[in-house]
Amino acid sequence: MKQQYKQITALVPKPFVKWAGGKRQLLPILSQHIPKNFDTYFEPFLGGGAVLFHLISKNSQLKCFVSDLNSTLILSYVTIRDKVDELIMSLEEHSENYFKNPEEYYYQVRDNNPKNQIDQVSRLIFLNKTCFNGLYRVNSKGKFNVPIGKYVNPNIVNKENLQILSHVLQSKGISIKCEDFTTALRKAQEDDFVYLDPPYQPVSSTANFTSYTNDNFDYKDQERLFIEFKKLDSKGCKIMLSNSKSQEVIELFSEYSDNIIEINTNRFINSNSKKRTGHTEILIKNY
């Protein structure tokens, strides 16, 4: 038993869902820009949590305030923390039913709208693992309408990862909330580190970013974010922000132009394989 506990603490959890704009693949680059020393960590656009998990693996005692406006996503984190065994049982049931008749079962779950906490979260994870392109996203009416994906053997229940994640999230130092980023950042103080990874500003009017910006994050929100960035800067926080290399963002943050770094990346989540070529995004830092 003791040994099992030791193993769990030594492992780093992976994001439990594939999330639009997920930063797992960019971690080798992003980690080079994370400040060496800081007090508390703030991540108000948490998504799949790749950066949080990376930081916690370096310092399990880190004090963190993490949040997102997506309520089902935050409910998932809380459920994994508090009720992981029940969640795993529910996912195992989904998995068993799916393999009996994938197509029929997938659409049955997709059309359900469960009220119970465990069922809501296991539905999100199940759909994320089995839907086309592996991305859970709702349309403007809040409905999930993505068709079934072409998977031979989807890993619906990643039991070990959920258990590791549950253990990590039980750390007293981590606060998880569903709220807008401005509310989440009120507590940030001098020497805290804030990573801002908002839904990206579309690069051109022709770019199909609808799948990416379902969060209804428009240019006004980018402006709100800029105001927040300046506020945090004047408080003495260390801030790192990811965004697309769009003209609007570069102009909005022009006073930080000496601290804009270009990053070449591949956006693996593009459903059109022809568009899966490398592209450039930006990092803006105030340190």
Residues 149-188 that bind ligand SAM (CB under 6 A): 180-181
- Distance of alpha carbon 263 from alpha carbon 283, whole angstroms: 7
How far is the C-alpha of 53 from the C-alpha of 59, rounded, in Å? 10
Span of 17-25, 33-41, 117-125, 201-209 interacting with ligand SAM by CB under 6 A: 17-25
Residue in 23, 123, 167, 238 binding ligand SAM, rule: CB under 6 A: 23
Side-chain-facing half-sphere of 197: CA atoms under 13 Å: 24
Which range, of 18-26, 57-65, 112-120, 246-254, touches ligand SAM by CB under 6 A? 18-26
Question: Whose Cβ is closer to ligand SAM: residue 106's or residue 221's?
Answer: 221
Report how far residue 94's alpha carbon sits from residue 86's, in angstroms, rounded to the nearest whole number: 13
Side chain identity at residue 183, one-letter code: T
Q: List the one residue out of 51, 43, 50 whose CA is nearest residue 67.
A: 43
**Considering the rule CB under 6 A, would residue 131 count as an interface residue with ligand SAM?**
no
Among 13, 48, 134, 202, binds ligand SAM (CB under 6 A): 48
Backbone angles phi, psi at 155, to 5 degrees: -85, 85
How far apart, in whole angstroms, are the C-alpha atoms of residue 222 and residue 2?
48
Residues 21, 134, 154, 202: which binds ligand SAM (CB under 6 A)?
21
47 forms part of the interface with ligand SAM (CB under 6 A):
yes
Residues that bind ligand SAM (CB under 6 A): 19, 21-23, 44-45, 47-48, 50-51, 68-70, 180-181, 197-199, 215, 217
